[in-house]
Amino acid sequence: MAIVKAFRGIRPVKELASKIAALPYDVMSSDEAREMVVGNPHSFLHVDRPEIDLDPEIDVHDPKVYAKAKENLDRMIRDGEFIQDEEPCLYIYRQIMNGRSQTGIVFCASIDDYMNNIIKKHEFTRADKEQDRINHVDYCDANTGPIFLTYKEDQIASEIIDAWIQNESKRKPIYNFVAEDGITHIVWVVDNEIIIDEIVDLFKEIDYLYIADGHHRSASAVKVGLKRRAENPNYTGEEEFNYFLAVAFPDNDLMVMDYNRVVKDLNGMTKEELITKLEENFIVTKSENNVPVKPAKKHTFGMDVEGEWYLLEAKDGTFDENNPIAQLDVAILQSNVLTPILGIEDVRTSDRIDFIGGIRGIKELEKRVNSDMKIAFSMYPTEVHDIMDVADIGEVMPPKSTWFEPKLRSGLFIHELK
């Protein structure tokens, strides 16, 4: 049973929505963020990446950075760039990318559901990244970026929710704009109390919510909520700090893109020696006319080694098909290539490997192999049901398994904790 809550969203005035809405803080560096805001003083990166308004040499974890986030947020609200809905609302958020749409409901999720595993996770988090967002949320006294959740569509309540979304989205939206990356963002406000109560009740019939993207933000939001509980021992559970900002999409709406790998060297081997080792567990086929290989099905991989493309097909018996983790392509590559052949034991800490989201395209892999890397692997995308299967058994996905597109924009919805 998932607990969801309407909230009084702080959101952009209509004429500034397209200028305020920004990509999530964690998909760019500080230098990239500084470039992205040139000519746009309204960008929400001034809140989510506030170091861009300070000395470039400052430590991004300096308390001055978080204080600047609060200062910028307060200024934008004070200057009328944002408004706040007078009554608690739900919101419908639709994104359209390359003709494909995904439509979700914006609400506040329960920190208790997170702790009780009603909201399921599939990634480990790092303490330093958690602490960064804990500080940001605590200083701003608000959730400034939504957590990307999903739920299984094959439930009766899900079907009813989907029908309701389709009906509500026939109305005129409050926002409808195309961002600089070509992705359309459309938002509707749902302020009818009867309808809100119906949706809240429907979510109580949803067994689980799953984190698709935003593990660090959700963990941090929960820890801030627990901190506020400790500071307010007489809390009732209804206070805003008991909830965090989220958007939930049905699983069949979502698209996971490939998350590719590039490696700096061949671990002391020649290309011929590498291929001989690979042939133990893979059928290795050289690409005709050196056409780049983008896998068309699971358990196959493209490989660009020193500028030559190959198709790798995992042989029978290479992996356990009944193990939700072992049968993942990222796990197959790790256990059969990266560790035993290329000598990369821990992809989280090795400086010999890098990861490239599929949104950058196959040419980015070729570019890296022709510059600072020796070998690239193009992957078949992990599927949403794979993520859910792993989360259902209480395990975590291998590092860098998923790349969701499109990304949720920050700044369209803010949830105050007070």
Cα–Cα distance for residue pair 45/329, rounded to 1 Å: 35
For residue 407, the number of C-alpha atoms closer than 13 Å in the C-beta half-sphere is 20
3-state secondary structure the chain: CCCEECECCEEECHHHHHHHCECCHHHCCHHHHHHHCCCCCCCCHHHHCHHHHCCCCCCCCCHHHHHHHHHHHHHHHHCCCEEECCCCEEEEEEEEECCEEEEEEEEEEEHHHHHCCCEECCCCCCHHHHHHHHHHHHHHCEECCCEEEEECCCCHHHHHHHHHHHHHCCCCCCEEEECCCCCEEEEEEECCHHHHHHHHHHHCCCCCEEEEECHHHHHHHHHHHHHHHHHCCCCCCCCHHHEEEEEEEEHHHCCEECEEEEECCCCCCCHHHHHHHHCCCEEEEECHHHCCCCCCCCCEEEEEECCEEEEEEECCCCCCCCCCCCCCHHHHHHHHHHCCCCCCCCCCCCCCEEEEEHHHCHHHHHHHHCCCCCEEEECCCCCHHHHHHHHHCCCCCCCCCCEECCCCCECCCEEECC
pLDDT, tens digit (0-9, with 9 covering 90-100), for 258-284:
999 999 999 999 999 999 999 999 999
Instruction: Quote the distance between the C-alpha of residue 376 and its chain's center.
Output: 23
- The domain locations on the chain are 4-255+405-416, 259-380
Q: Amino acid identity of 398?
A: P
**pLDDT tens over the chain, length 418 residues:** 899 999 999 999 999 999 999 999 988 999 999 999 999 999 999 999 999 999 999 999 999 999 999 999 999 999 999 999 999 999 999 999 999 999 999 999 999 999 999 999 999 898 999 999 999 999 999 999 999 999 998 888 888 998 999 998 999 999 999 999 999 999 999 999 999 999 999 999 999 999 999 999 999 999 999 999 999 999 999 999 999 999 999 999 998 999 999 999 999 999 999 999 999 999 999 999 999 999 999 999 999 999 999 999 999 999 999 999 999 999 999 999 999 999 999 998 899 999 999 989 999 999 999 999 999 999 999 999 999 999 999 999 998 899 899 999 999 999 999 9
Instruction: Report, at the CATH architecture level, how domain 259-380 is classified.
Output: 2-Layer Sandwich (3.30)
Strand pairing of 10-12 and 82-84?
antiparallel
Cα–Cα distance for residue pair 249/386, rounded to 1 Å: 16
* pTM of the shown model: 0.92
